[in-house]
Amino acid sequence: MLRPALLAVAMLTVLGGLAACQRKAPTPAPAPPPTPAASTGETADQFIARVNQEVRQHYPELNSAQWLSNTDINSDSELIAAKANERWLAHLAVWLAEAKRFEGQPMAPQTARALKLLTLWTAMPAPQDPKQREELTQIASRMEGMYGAGRVCNSEGRHKTCRDIGQLGDVLAKNRDYDAQLQAWTGWHSISIPMRKDYTRFVTLVNIGARQLGYADTGELWRAGYDMPPPELAKQSDRLWNQVKPLYEQLHCYARGKLDAQYGKDKGELPGGLLPAHLLGNLWQQDWSNLWDLLAPYPAAVNLDISGTLQQRAQAELLYAQVRKQDDTIGTAAARAFNIERAAQLASAKLMTRDAESFYVSLGFPKLPGSYWQKSQFIRPLDRDVMCHASAWDMNMQGDLRTKMCITPSEEDYTTIYHELGHLYYDMAYNPLPPLFQNGAQDGFHEAIGDTIVLAMTPHYLASVGLLQEAPQNSQSQINAQMRMALSKVAFLPFGLMIDRWRWGVFDGSIKPADYNKAWWALKAQYQGVAPVTARGEDYFDAGAKYHVPANTPYTRYFLANILQFQFYKALCDASGYKGRLSECSFYGSKAAGDKYWAMLRKGNSQPWQQTLQELTGSDHMDAAPLLEYFAPLHTWLKQQNAGLQCGWITGSTPNPDRN
Ligand code: X8Z
Ligand code: ZN
């Protein structure tokens, strides 16, 4: 997953992180033989052609090592992944050194673009010193491994019981007991305590690498990947946030009232009007969909929850599997029952994925290759630790495409599958390009492809695939449908921004290691209006409890994607000939929309994203207007509900440890 292009999700991770390894190799492995120095007289065009060819040659090895370490976390796979990353970064170092020869020389614009993209290839810029590079890849592996293998154990009584991220997340999703949620939330935030020292060193090492590439720090390198000067990205994201903030504040205000009603005002909110971090249905408060039971505007109007139907389908799979295998006599009855259950879980996960594939195919996109169904990880294996955080992988730039998930029959996983396939279809579309152009037009585009399809999964579409009952459209069902989408898309916006506001500060030194946690919670309060209910001092490292921090995956991409996807959606609705209220459009089955989308995907990163956006939407800049148009009815409704309430929150209030 190294290559940005390839990287659907995991890609940049590659560039960045690896699996974990608990100990250092006794002797450093010899550096790989460097790519032979370019022969004198090699032109810039020839150089880029050679790099593209060498990337094709070396990249699959890195991906294979990363795949193994992500799907079987142990000290061996971590070591192999760290070494593969080290080798890859050594190649990159050679290419970058060679590229310097062409600075200031005349060359074709596409060659100049490719050279620029080469310096931006990695989110984890490695120092030139091989010892430091080795240390960096080991730390990266170790942090990812700690996250992937994270478990919270309770050894009270005679039996030790442990819960993984899925089980802890489930408590927040489904259990409305205040203390049970707090325990699950606090438990998960203990897994990152041991990462703090590693992360501090990691920051020092990547900053050395970034400076050697000519950037002030790693944050500046991350902000440089947007076809505009790095400070412009910060400005543009502020502008977009200011566009959507009033809508978020209304949602926050409405949620606070409902939490107060559920838990009482003394527990439903914190001083200053902040929302308690453990009560939002999600370990990071980034998606509030799980609070549907508390926040549904018109609970009696229409059932929009597809998780129930997905669970029924999974049960039906179990029955089929039992019937199919009823003549089996191998093994004990218990073993047979176990195998049948696992087979049913796998079948159910694959069926959910087939639904997602069908949407893309309805647009005229190709089917996923047969190998995808053989090689992907669909459900959590029980015999080993794996990284369950969903990711999409382009293993070799020529058709070996995979997803890695731990799918359960839930709405959250269902929409995540659509998201992941967006990455794979982007990969497929741009695979014919030279490797250096095989990436999103910018990283927000990569993240927005599948989410655009999720916007088109209207209640009508869900009814057409049998997941909901067709219901009459009226103002109540419309507000319900908008609320469901808002709990995922609007609630996410400030979270999408604050993670990298924290990391930019960490990388540029304005946030010192001694203040990591203080700064994290200050930003959570400022942007999201959430706070922990118990003091979270510097003994903790709460940022590390979010996958993208130990995995070093930049996060602003998701904020941008949440804006861009509404722009894409509107353009595709227009292309499909839809006329009507934006939020009720589904372009399912529209070849015209599909052609327009594919035309964008196949451009990859071969031209500035502004041009690519212009070709799809007619506008060359990111704009939250389509998002606001989509949610206009809900925005008006929320303002009515909140009339007379004091919305907003005051930051800086210290958590009250007596509250729990
Ligand atoms: O990490 C992801 C995807 C893989 S790119 C599952 N997402 C972000 C997250 O989970 O934090 C999608 C939404 C935001
Ligand atoms: Zn993604």
Q: 372-401 burial, b for 16+ CB within 10 Å, e for fewer? A: beebbbbbbeeeebbbbbbbbbbbbbeebb
pLDDT at 96 over 60: yes
Atom of ligand 1 nearest to the CA of 391: 4
What distance in angstroms lies between residue 522's CA and the mean position of ligand 1's atoms? 23
What distance in angstroms lies between residue 444's CA and the mean position of ligand 1's atoms? 12
Which ligand is nearest to the Cα of residue 416, counting in written order?
1
CA distance 258 to 22: 45
Which pLDDT tens digit goes with each residue over 575-613? 999 999 999 999 999 999 999 999 999 999 999 999 999
> pLDDT confidence of 158, banded at 50, 70, 90?
confident
- Tell me, what's the pLDDT at 304? 85
Protein residue with least CA distance to atom 14, ligand 1: 558
What distance in angstroms lies between residue 338's CA and the mean position of ligand 2's atoms? 32
CA distance 656 to 532: 9
Q: If DSSP codes are grouped into helix, strand and coil, which group holds residue 494?
A: helix
Which pLDDT tens digit goes with each residue over 199-211? 999 999 999 999 9
Mean pLDDT of 350-366: 98
The secondary structure element, H or E, covering residue 125 is: none
Which residues have CB less than 5 Å away from ligand 2 (the ion)?
Answer: 9, 447
Token pair, residue 504, equals: 């930019």
- Tell me, what's the pLDDT at 157? 72
**How much helix, strand and coil, in percent to the nearest 5, is found in the chain?**
60, 5, 35
Mean pLDDT of 437-458: 98
What distance in angstroms lies between residue 524's CA and the mean position of ligand 2's atoms? 22
Which pLDDT tens digit goes with each residue over 253-300? 999 999 999 999 999 999 999 999 999 999 999 999 999 999 999 998
What distance in angstroms lies between residue 373's CA and the mean position of ligand 1's atoms? 22
Closest CA to 274 of 580, 642, 541, 529: 529
pLDDT at 333 over 50: yes
What distance in angstroms lies between residue 455's CA and the mean position of ligand 2's atoms? 15
Protein residue with least CA distance to atom 6, ligand 1: 390
> pLDDT confidence of 85, banded at 50, 70, 90?
very high
What distance in angstroms lies between residue 48's CA and the mean position of ligand 1's atoms? 32
Which pLDDT tens digit goes with each residue over 106-126? 899 999 999 999 999 999 999
pLDDT at 509 over 90: yes
Protein residue with least CA distance to atom 13, ligand 1: 558
Which pLDDT tens digit goes with each residue over 15-36? 332 222 222 233 333 334 434 4
Q: What is the pTM of this model?
A: 0.93
On whether the CB atoms of residues 530 and 274 are closer than 8 A, the answer is: yes
- What value does the mean pLDDT of the chain take? 92
Best mutation site among 377, 410, 417, 419 for ligand 1, i.e. most ligand atoms within 8 A of its Cβ?
Answer: 419
Q: CB under 6 Å to ligand 1: residues?
A: 9, 286, 390-391, 416, 419, 558
Residues forming beta bridges with residue 159, ordered by sequence position: none
Which ligand is nearest to the Cα of residue 449, counting in written order?
2
- Tell me, what's the pLDDT at 612? 98
Best mutation site among 283, 284, 426, 447 for ligand 1, i.e. most ligand atoms within 8 A of its Cβ?
Answer: 447
- Tell me, what's the pLDDT at 302? 77
On whether the CB atoms of residues 454 and 461 are closer than 8 A, the answer is: no
What distance in angstroms lies between residue 393's CA and the mean position of ligand 1's atoms? 14
CA distance 584 to 612: 26
Atom of ligand 1 nearest to the CA of 390: 6
On whether the CB atoms of residues 189 and 540 are closer than 8 A, the answer is: yes
What distance in angstroms lies between residue 7's CA and the mean position of ligand 2's atoms? 9
What distance in angstroms lies between residue 482's CA and the mean position of ligand 1's atoms? 21
Token pair 């118990």 is at which residue?
A: 534
Q: If DSSP codes are grouped into helix, strand and coil, which group holds residue 377?
A: strand
Which pLDDT tens digit goes with each residue over 44-76? 999 999 999 999 999 999 999 999 999 999 999
pLDDT at 37 over 90: no
Atom of ligand 1 nearest to the CA of 547: 11
Atom of ligand 1 nearest to the CA of 423: 5
Which ligand is nearest to the Cα of residue 555, counting in written order?
1
CA distance 96 to 101: 9
pLDDT at 9 over 70: no
On whether the CB atoms of residues 387 and 150 are closer than 8 A, the answer is: no
CA distance 358 to 625: 30
What distance in angstroms lies between residue 9's CA and the mean position of ligand 2's atoms? 5
Alpha carbon of 531 to those of 19, 97, 527, 550, 603: distances in Å? Answer: 31, 46, 11, 22, 42
DSSP string, 149-191: T--EEE--SS--EEE-HHHHHHHHHH---HHHHHHHHHHHTTT
Protein residue with least CA distance to atom 8, ligand 1: 558
CA distance 585 to 248: 23
The pLDDT > 90 percentage for the chain reads 85
Least confident window among 8-12, 111-115, 354-358: 8-12
Protein residue with least CA distance to atom 5, ligand 1: 9
556-575 and 475-508 helices, crossing angle to 10°: 140
Protein residue with least CA distance to atom 3, ligand 1: 390
Atom of ligand 1 nearest to the CA of 558: 14
Token pair, residue 445, equals: 């585009």
Mean pLDDT of 532-549: 98
- Tell me, what's the pLDDT at 527? 98
The pLDDT > 70 percentage for the chain reads 93
Protein residue with least CA distance to atom 2, ligand 1: 390
Best mutation site among 11, 14, 405, 416 for ligand 1, i.e. most ligand atoms within 8 A of its Cβ?
Answer: 416
What distance in angstroms lies between residue 557's CA and the mean position of ligand 1's atoms? 10
Rg (CA), the chain: 24
DSSP 652: -
What distance in angstroms lies between residue 423's CA and the mean position of ligand 2's atoms? 7
Which ligand is nearest to the Cα of residue 390, counting in written order?
1
Atom of ligand 1 nearest to the CA of 496: 14
> pLDDT confidence of 39, banded at 50, 70, 90?
low
Protein residue with least CA distance to atom 7, ligand 1: 558
Best mutation site among 147, 188, 389 for ligand 1, i.e. most ligand atoms within 8 A of its Cβ?
Answer: 389
Which pLDDT tens digit goes with each residue over 176-220? 999 999 999 999 999 999 999 999 999 999 999 999 999 999 999
Backbone angles phi, psi at 84, to 5 degrees: -65, -40
Which ligand is nearest to the Cα of residue 426, counting in written order?
2
